[in-house]
Structure 1
Amino acid sequence: MLPPHTGRHVGWLSVTAGDRDDGGPRRQWLPAAWSLALALLVVGPLLAPGYLLLRDAVSTPRSYPTDAALGLGDAAPRAVPQDGLLAALSTVVDGGLVVKAVLVAALWAAGWGAAVLTRRTLCAALGPQLVAATLAIWNPYVAERLLQGHWSLLTGYAALPWTALAAQRIRAHTGTTGRFRRPSRQHPERHYGSSEFSGPNHQTQQADSISGTGRAWAGLAGWFAVAGLTPTGSLLAGIVAVVVVGRRNVLGVVGLWVVAAAPWLVGAGLSGGGAEPSDPAGVVAFAARAEPGLGTLGSLVGLGGIWNGDAVPASRTTGFALVATVVLVLLVASGVRAVAAAGDPGTRRLRRALLVIAAVAVVMPALGATGWGVAVGEWLVTRVPGAGLLRDTQKYVALAVPAYTVCAAAGCRAVAVAVRNRAPAVEAVPLVAAVFVAVPLVTLPDLAWGVGGALRPVHYPAGWQRVAAAIDGPGDVAVLPAGMFRRFPFSGRVAVLDPAPRLLPRDVLQTGELPVRGRVVAGEGGRARDVERLLANGAAPGELAARGVGWVLVEKTTPGPLGASETTLAQLDSRYADADLALYRVPGPIDPHGPSDATHRALAIAAHLVWALCLLGGAVWSTARRARTSPVRR
């Protein structure tokens, strides 16, 4: 960290002492408070009683530790350890409240993390920190992912600035040799936590060095776990850490990442779902999309371009998207030069790494939407296990946001300096910061209040809880109508993911097939497809039982194909029926799970516990003795 400014010229950081953010804890907490206010403004309507049910987002009062929740289902473990965490927490807290709390915390952490990243890499004043926090929360990427229902992905998004700082601390403590590194007394600002080494003797310095290094690794483990609520978030944080930490620490970081990603890695290995090739049609279906007035590259530069044109704020569906993107680019471009050139070597290296990550995160998805990029993607998903995680390339634009926020903050400072040089009497920093804060809000007005009201709670009919209580025997659950998406009267106009897998205490068979842009992308659920076919053909109950099906649930109020399933249902035992739902029991012996399933569940649970240890242990250890080792203000 740079020493407090005393009025001398430090390159582009030539400012007065009043511009610096050395005003103590009160001023440092203002960005956190501002970030929380913005987060609450975004999710506002969702805070009312009820549950989030919007496209891919499903929250329920209670969920269960089924095989699918642990990543052991037929499909690839895309919601692991998210579903396992909800199954555990919803036994003591309403699951809907958990999802709301995680979403608010993710947006809060994203803004606060951007402010802290700006403060520690630029020694920025309060105004530029608020600029960074605003841009981290208020941008098209956040809006589109909220509309798509990717609430848990935003935890990985929020972890990126904190992951970058943790990786930089590791690099600063160990240096390029991989050994504990004592800071230069002449340039303590070149090392994070340099005051930790200012003890009276060498033993104290070495102990503090070991302690600081341990806290840095523990902090990284914790942020890996936060980001790893979904596999994609885990990949995002892993990429940032590997690029920032330095080549001497890469193996350690990769090993730590594997430990924190254990739930979905173990689930994919045991279930085999992640090892199967993905449908190549998904590469085209999930490719980044051009917005009005912008090509694909321009949309991605503006942090937009999600594949689903329906999951886009209204302001991004007209030519105004071009105006908003140009303004955002100007905001970011105003600080690129300063970010790349200014500061001490350690923080300059970090900032340049973030710039490189941002450039790649924008260019690669744009290339992936070209003809040859699609061909490469199709080759990857059909031949490389797990490559299906890469098909929604626009997700990875999240990697550009840390650099965007730092550049916008630096641009705010640079413009303020230029304004003050021309008009010394003007309080430039507050004025320019107010403009820079207002720009994202004005150019994306419909992110406010639940992205234009789309993010609102729903209420499940009481029959769902009665059905869950009625399922008291072995066997998986087949669901009618066929398909994974529903349009319930209580869920609104858009199609939503079937909530049955999270509402019911037994595994619900799902094919994983996704309707995207007028085509169907095949999933990995081969057994579910067989069962759907049997029901559509009116098969005998014994054929269902032979495939492990013990229950059939009919969701009456949603459209979808039923085929000749009435023939099968007439041969089943009715256990519950109302205006919304009907539950049937499949008679006869149900084919039990294999003998290895108990072992697989034990391994999956152990992997989840390891992840939880990273999450909790990282938080506790990284904050231990913080009071004694906090930097000394000079």
Structure 2
Amino acid sequence: MTRARRTLRWVVPGYALLLALAVTAPLLAPGYLLLRDAVSTPRSYFSDAALGLSESAPRALPQDFLIAALTPVLDGGVLVKALLIAGIFLAGWGAGRLADLLVPDAGVPGQLVAATVAVWNPYVAERLLQGHWSLLVGYGCLPWVAAAVVRLRSSGSGPGWAALVFWIALAGLTPTGLLLALVVALVCVAVPGAGVSRLWCAGGVVVTAMLAASPWLVASALGDGLGSSPSPGVVAFAARAEPGLGTLGSLAGLGGIWNAEAVPSSRATPLAVLATVVLLAVVALGLPTVLRRRSVLPLLALAAVGVLLPAAAATGPGLAVLRDMVEAAPAVGILRDGQKWVALAMPGYAVAGAAAVVTVRGRLRPGAAAVVAIVALIAVLPDLAFGVWGKVTSVRYPQGWAAVATLIDSAPADVAVLPADSMRQFAWAGPAPVLDPLPRWVRANVLATGDLTISGRSVPGEGGHARDVQRMLLAGAPATTLAAAGVGWVVVESGSAGSIGNAQRTLTQLPAVYRDPEITLYRIGGMSQAAPHAERMAVTAAHVVWLAMVTGAGFLTLAGRRHKDVPSGT
């Protein structure tokens, strides 16, 4: 390989990294990611909640296990921010690699357009503002999953299996990421090729996905987090129409998240219409080229389905069907946030965007066409830059939080928290609400109901025991009653909205072990009961299987690539 070619192969990953850093620049400062659903803390532990054995559905597995495993050696703030940046970077680089595989005549200019489509879009902005950092890791794996399956179908090379296992398992950092990867992989099995047969390829994908899903499948089977139906949240989490676009138009433009507050400012202006037109125009320009290539057609079909189904699910009949499904099988509740499935459109959009430079090359040189497309895509979503215009930043915890965590860890027992609300709004953490960080910071289980209030509508969570304790505390029950319920500690997080009720009657009976203007800790002394040892061991074993898939397949993939890159005769 000549020096020029060796240098050229780093252009796309370098550009993808530049885009990722442009989006996440404020997170490079010291501190922690605290924004809506994104919570990072200095240290995490293998609590029952982290293993998926609490009352809540195991939505954050194996994410919480991985963080608990790594934070003894790496600060949790650094770890979460690094994974987030890596996810966005992988999306851009992977889109470029997929474009190179399926539309090789687009060259580096086309790959750069594909990377821009994958990174610089409303989906990334909105999920970033919602705090779905681990979902963005799964999102970043999708083009790599597609490329791995296409290579297996075309050549059937041995290292291709290791790559497929690695990317599916990595996408499986959350259940949603795994399901997205599974769908992309199965769709790509349809591409023509003389390599691994469709039957063997599909079988390998399904087996890999089942093994990667073992942490939350085992936790769901052993726990009781799926015992209650999340159907009341179906309407609240439906895809949302943005100004001038309607629901279908918003989703086609990769926007439309349910939370109107988790959107860039530009998406609330007529610029949202222009941004959607520009994105779809770049994709449409590539269609005349990719529609003639059978290997791309499955991804294009998936892109259409990835837009149309969430749009249909947001209609009256669609919501009714989804509600019935969720009531019949609570596990189907994972589908209620319809807009997140629009991620399935990204690989197809990226490849079509790359092909646009091929379509217009008779009138415009590929390099010039790429520059026009890239500038247009970035210009119509300017506020994705710099942490979505400074809304995604690093936050410092007040000193008292570390002190309280240390005291609780010295005698772990269930922790009740006031005010009574799952979301917090601290002056020191910025204007946006955030999930209570305490459950991810201490060894003990922090009692959380999971209740949410969305647009004035209450969406109940799964925390039945937590709700009972909360009622007792708000009613001012005697400390002995709370202790009998297994509560060991009460934490009051000052400055956040939420109900206190008559809890002060209870608190006056208790000694304040720690107090400052930000947080107060009271000792009750109750002894809580952890999940049975056999259940913890079973879930831990399932997590070890997932971890072995990521590390083992990752090592084999890197070894295979290194062997491939070694020139013959050396």
Query: TM-score normalised by the shorter chain: which range applies?
Result: over 0.9
Equivalent residue for 2:258, pick from 298, 307, 324? 307
Asked if 1:409 is matched to 2:354, the reply is yes
Instruction: For residue 281 of structure 1, report the CA deviation from its aligned partner.
Output: 2.1
Quick one: distance in 2 between partners of 1:337 and 1:258?
37
SS in 1 for 2:46: coil
Asked if 1:619 is matched to 2:554, the reply is yes
Quick one: distance in 2 between partners of 1:631 and 1:395?
40
Deviations 1:66-99 (A, max 9, x none): 1101111110011111111111111111111111
Give the match for residue 138 of structure 2: 156
Contact 1:541–1:571 under 8 Å retained in 2: yes
Q: Amino acid of the residue matched to residue 217 of structure 1?
A: W
What pairs up with 1:59-70 in 2 under 5 angstroms?
59-70=40-51
Q: Which runs of 5+ in 2 are unaligned?
A: 191-197
Asked if 1:400 is matched to 2:345, the reply is yes
Give the match for residue 581 of structure 1: 519
Asked if 1:363 is matched to 2:308, the reply is yes
Quick one: distance in 2 between partners of 1:363 and 1:162?
24
Asked if 1:109 is matched to 2:47, the reply is no
Q: Amino acid of the residue matched to residue 541 of structure 1?
A: A
Quick one: distance in 2 between partners of 1:443 and 1:22?
37
Q: Amino acid of the residue matched to residue 368 of structure 2?
A: L
Deviations 1:11-45 (A, max 9, x none): xxxxxxxxxx9962321210000000111111011
Quick one: distance in 1 between partners of 2:402 and 2:229?
35
Instruction: For residue 631 of structure 1, report the CA deviation from its aligned partner.
Output: 11
Give the match for residue 435 of structure 1: 372
Give the match for residue 537 of structure 2: 602
Contact 1:300–1:362 under 8 Å retained in 2: yes
Quick one: distance in 2 between partners of 1:122 and 1:58?
39
Deviations 1:163-222 (A, max 9, x none): 011122232345xxxxxxxxxxxxxxxxxxxxxxxxxxxxxxxxxxxxx33x22221111
Give the match for residue 195 of structure 2: none
What do you get for the CA RMSD once the two structures are aligned? 1.8
- Shift in CA distance, 591/132, structure 1 to aligned 2, threshold 3 Å: closer
Instruction: For residue 625 of structure 1, report the CA deviation from its aligned partner.
Output: 4.0
Instruction: For residue 277 of structure 1, report the CA deviation from its aligned partner.
Output: 4.0
SS in 1 for 2:458: strand
Q: Amino acid of the residue matched to residue 622 of structure 1?
A: T
SS in 1 for 2:11: helix
Instruction: For residue 462 of structure 1, report the CA deviation from its aligned partner.
Output: 0.4
Quick one: distance in 1 between partners of 2:234 and 2:102?
37
Deviations 1:424-478 (A, max 9, x none): xxxx111111101111110100000010100111111100111111112242111
Q: Which runs of 4+ in 1 moved over 6 A?
A: none
Equivalent residue for 2:218, pick from 262, 266, 270? 266
Deviations 1:270-295 (A, max 9, x none): 1121x324332211100000011111
Q: Amino acid of the residue matched to residue 362 of structure 2?
A: V
- Shift in CA distance, 628/538, structure 1 to aligned 2, threshold 3 Å: closer
What pairs up with 1:284-323 in 2 under 5 angstroms?
284-323=235-274
SS in 2 for 1:91: coil
Q: Amino acid of the residue matched to residue 245 of structure 2?
A: L
Deviations 1:282-326 (A, max 9, x none): 111000000111110000000000000111111110111111111
Instruction: For residue 540 of structure 1, report the CA deviation from its aligned partner.
Output: 2.1
Give the match for residue 206 of structure 2: 254
Contact 2:289–2:358 under 8 Å retained in 1: no
Quick one: distance in 1 between partners of 2:564 and 2:395?
47
Quick one: distance in 1 between partners of 2:277 and 2:4?
35
Equivalent residue for 1:325, pick from 270, 276, 279? 276
SS in 2 for 1:64: coil
Quick one: distance in 1 between partners of 2:3 and 2:452?
52
What pairs up with 1:455-466 in 2 under 5 angstroms?
455-466=392-403
Deviations 1:318-372 (A, max 9, x none): 1111111111111100111211213xxxxx33x1111111111000010011000
Q: Amino acid of the residue matched to residue 464 of structure 1?
A: W
Asked if 1:98 is matched to 2:79, the reply is yes
SS in 1 for 2:53: coil
Q: Amino acid of the residue matched to residue 140 of structure 1?
A: P
Give the match for residue 126 of structure 1: 108
Quick one: distance in 2 between partners of 1:43 and 1:280?
35
SS in 2 for 1:624: helix
Asked if 1:54 is matched to 2:12, the reply is no
Equivalent residue for 2:172, pick from 228, 244, 257? 228
Contact 1:464–1:503 under 8 Å retained in 2: no
Q: Amino acid of the residue matched to residue 102 of structure 1?
A: L
Equivalent residue for 2:386, pick from 437, 440, 449? 449
Quick one: distance in 1 between partners of 2:8 and 2:565?
17
Give the match for residue 209 of structure 1: none
Give the match for residue 189 of structure 1: none
Q: How many residues align?
A: 557
Asked if 1:561 is matched to 2:499, the reply is yes
Contact 1:548–1:593 under 8 Å retained in 2: no
Contact 2:126–2:255 under 8 Å retained in 1: yes
Give the match for residue 542 of structure 1: 480
Asked if 1:572 is matched to 2:510, the reply is yes
Q: Amino acid of the residue matched to residue 433 of structure 1?
A: A
Q: Amino acid of the residue matched to residue 448 of structure 1?
A: A
Give the match for residue 501 of structure 1: 439
Instruction: For residue 487 of structure 1, report the CA deviation from its aligned partner.
Output: 1.0
Contact 1:278–1:523 under 8 Å retained in 2: no
Deviations 1:373-414 (A, max 9, x none): 000010011111411100001000011011111101101221
Q: Amino acid of the residue matched to residue 529 of structure 2?
A: P
Q: Amino acid of the residue matched to residue 515 of structure 1?
A: T
Contact 2:33–2:77 under 8 Å retained in 1: yes
Quick one: distance in 2 between partners of 1:279 and 1:272?
13
- Shift in CA distance, 625/156, structure 1 to aligned 2, threshold 3 Å: closer
Q: Amino acid of the residue matched to residue 58 of structure 2?
A: P
TM-score by length of 1: 0.85
- Shift in CA distance, 631/292, structure 1 to aligned 2, threshold 3 Å: farther
Give the match for residue 531 of structure 1: 469
Contact 1:335–1:411 under 8 Å retained in 2: yes
Asked if 1:386 is matched to 2:331, the reply is yes
SS in 2 for 1:557: coil
Q: Considering only CA atoms, is the larger Rg found in Structure 1 or Structure 2?
A: 1
Quick one: distance in 2 between partners of 1:234 and 1:35?
23
% same residue: 51
Contact 1:277–1:383 under 8 Å retained in 2: no
Q: Amino acid of the residue matched to residue 462 of structure 2?
A: E
SS in 2 for 1:128: helix
Quick one: distance in 2 between partners of 1:623 and 1:90?
25
Q: Amino acid of the residue matched to residue 337 of structure 2?
A: D
SS in 1 for 2:133: coil
Give the match for residue 286 of structure 2: 335
Give the match for residue 138 of structure 1: 120
Quick one: distance in 2 between partners of 1:95 and 1:474?
20
Instruction: For residue 49 of structure 1, report the CA deviation from its aligned partner.
Output: 1.0
SS in 2 for 1:285: coil
Contact 2:48–2:530 under 8 Å retained in 1: no
Instruction: For residue 627 of structure 1, report the CA deviation from its aligned partner.
Output: 4.6
